[in-house]
Structure 1
Amino acid sequence: MATRKKKTAAIRIGVGGWTFEPWRGGVFYPEGLAQKKELEYASRQLTTIEINGTFYGSQKPATFVKWHDETPDDFVFSLKAPRYATNRRVLSEAGDSIDRFFASGVLELKDKLGPINWQFAPTKQFDAGDFEGFLKLLPTTVEGRAILHAVEVRHESFRDESFIALARKYGVAVVVAGDSKYPQIADPTAPFVYARIMGTEEGQRLGYAKKHLDAWIERARTWSTGGVPAGIETVAKSPAKETPRDVFLYVISGFKALNPTAAIAMIELLNKS
Structure 2
Amino acid sequence: MTPPDRSASPSSRIRVGTSGWRYGSWRGDFYPDGLVQRAELAYIGEHFSTVELNGSFYSLQRPKSYLRWRDAVPDHFTFAVKGSRYISHMLRLRDTTTALANFFASGVLALGPTLGPILWQLPERQEFDPDVLDAFLAGLPRSTAEAKALGSRHDARMRDRTWLEDVADRPLRYALEPRSATFDDPRLAEILNRHGVALTVADTAGRWPRFEPGDTDLVYVRLHGASELYASGYTAQELQDWAERCARWASHGAGRDVFVYFDNDARGHAPHDALALARLVGDDPGDR
Q: What is the TM-score with the length of structure 2 in the denominator? A: 0.82
Q: Does the 8 Å contact 1:223/1:244 carry over to 2? A: no
Q: Note if 1:59 corresponds to 2:67.
A: no
Code of the aligned partner of 1:260: P
Are the structure 2 counterparts of residues 169 and 92 from structure 1 closer, same or farther at C-alpha, using a change threshold of 3 Å? Answer: same
Q: Identify if the C-alpha distance between structure 1 residues 40 and 194 changes in structure 2 by more than 3 Å, giving closer, same or farther.
A: same
1:265 lines up with 2:276 in the alignment: yes
The answer to whether the Cα contact below 8 Å between 2:14 and 2:283 also exists between their aligned partners in 1 is: no
What's 2:221 paired with? 195
AA of the residue aligned to 1:159: D
Describe how 1:1-273 pairs up with structure 2 within 5 A.
Answer: 6-8=8-10, 9-25=12-28, 27-88=29-90, 91-143=93-145, 144-180=169-205, 181-199=207-225, 207-226=233-252, 242=253, 244-253=255-264, 255-271=266-282
SS in 2 for 1:208: coil
Deviations along 1:55-99, one digit per CA (max 9) or x if unpaired, are 111111121111111101211000110011111455230111111
Moved more, 55-64 or 176-185: 176-185
* Deviation (angstroms), 1:200: 5.8
Contact 1:102 1:142 in 2 (8 A): no
CA distance in 2 between counterparts of 1:46 and 1:252 reads 15
Structure 1 counterpart of 2:177, which letter?
E
C-alpha distance in 1, partners of 2:107/2:121? Answer: 20
Q: Partner amino acid for 1:10?
A: R
Give CA deviations for 1:174-210 in whole Å, capped at 9, x if unaligned.
11112432111113232110000122679xxx93111
Structure 1 residues 167 and 120, CA gap change in structure 2 (3 angstroms): same
Residue-pair matches, total: 250
Report deviation, 1:104.
1.0
Specify the alignment match of 2:155 in structure 1: none
Structure 2: gaps (5+ residues): 1-6, 146-168
TM-score (norm 1): 0.86
Could you tell me how far apart the structure 2 residues matched to 1:90 and 1:258 are?
Answer: 32
Percent identity over the alignment? 35
The alignment partner of 1:43 has SS state of: helix
Q: 1:272 to 1:187 in 2, by over 3 A?
A: closer
Structure ranking higher on relative contact order (CA contacts 8 Å, 6+ apart)? 2
Aligned partners of 2:246 and 2:274: how far apart in 1? Answer: 13
The gaps in structure 1 that reach 5 residues or longer are 227-241
- In 1: Cα distance, 2:184 partner to 2:76 partner: 35
Q: Root-mean-square deviation (CA), in Å?
A: 2.0
Is the alpha carbon distance of 1:76 and 1:92 closer, same or farther for their aligned partners in structure 2, counting shifts above 3 Å? Answer: same
Structure 2 vs 1, CA of residues 127 and 43 (structure 1 numbering), >3 Å: closer, same or farther? same
Aligned partner of 1:235 in structure 2 is none
Q: Give the secondary-structure state (helix, strand or coil) at the position aligned to 1:93.
A: coil
Letter in 2 for 1:130: V
- How much does 1:213 deviate? 0.7
Q: 1:90 to 1:247 in 2, by over 3 A?
A: closer
Specify the SS of the correspondent of 1:150: strand
